[in-house]
Structure 1
């Protein structure tokens, strides 16, 4: 595997597959790290007339006390079912757009290409992920 002048990795397809796999693992790791925060935020936002939680720390402690530590991860499975396809769509669309763009306009700035392709792949993964769920 070698780097060309644009700092991009070129090599065999197994290297690209490994990068995509690591990207998927990064997305799953992100969900594990942030899911309790999302759960608490959602529960705080959902309480209307009856106040179950007085704040963020109270919500964390109440959930852990009443539901156990794993209570902070209720619903994670369903979220991960959406994360996998979303990451796969994002990586695939990004790589495809970047390769098409660079074959048509090889002299364009790599920053512009990356920004445009990243934006479009984000849109594609957001809309495609909702279609899959």
Structure 2
């Protein structure tokens, strides 16, 4: 499929609008996706057919000194993920510290349970077991 004859002109016009912060058809982000959307062309028009325009756009963005929106968003995501990892590592350390105490409690309860079972199996002679009463059957 061959590009439209005015494709380069539309891309340049879209580039000018985005760089002037006056987009008509996109969110105005300083990205190739927004540029393609603004120009009404597929993204691969910039990545494959017109890489010179793509590079020119990126050069204008660099000259502005502004980081692209995607980069800002990704940097924020990285900071958030690092905080999450730090919190999870702290929680993991806390849980690992709890394991020896829990093992000690389980061993103690297991020993107590074993002693109680032995006491039930061998009652002392001065304890008289109470048998459950059988329900009284009405006489007929």
With the length of structure 1 as denominator, give the TM-score of the two structures: 0.32
Report which structure shows greater RCO (CA 8 Å, sep ≥6).
1
Of structures 1 and 2, the larger Rg is shown by 2
With the length of structure 2 as denominator, give the TM-score of the two structures: 0.31
